[in-house]
Amino acid sequence: AQSVTQLGSHVSVSEGALVLLRCNYSSSVPPYLFWYVQYPNQGLQLLLKYTSAATLVKGINGFEAEFKKSETSFHLTKPSAHMSDAAEYFCAGYGNQFYFGTGTSLTVIP
């Protein structure tokens, strides 16, 4: 079955620290991968999208993700966390439909 797996349902980082949110995809998922962010009481907003053009994908708000085929990973990073980054983050893949991970809640500690 096609799927993406997010490791860690909750991640806490200090303000200014590196953010690393992990996502692994099943090898049967074609190379369309996404990261979305969801703020409370809002829908999902696209952070970035991988479509095999480049392994390092830069997104909005300083986020980026690196596609590593050998590790079947697509981890999301940001060099320096900001309080406004506190939200739920979803990794997603596309086969013949979109598949979402279960989400990682990011807490930023002042």
| Site of interaction with another protein (CB under 8 A) | 30, 32, 36, 41-46, 49, 51, 90, 94, 96-103
List beta partners, residue 93: 33, 99
Based on CB atoms, which residue is closest to another protein, 93 or 108?
93
Based on CB atoms, which residue is closest to another protein, 27 or 41?
41
As a whole number of Å, the end-to-end CA separation of the chain is: 40
Minimum distance, C-beta of residue 18 to another protein, in the bound complex (Å)? 25
Dihedral Cα 51, 9, 71, 100, nearest 10 deg: -30
Minimum distance, C-beta of residue 32 to another protein, in the bound complex (Å)? 4
Minimum distance, C-beta of residue 63 to another protein, in the bound complex (Å)? 16
CA 15, CA 91: separation in Å to the nearest integer?
A: 22
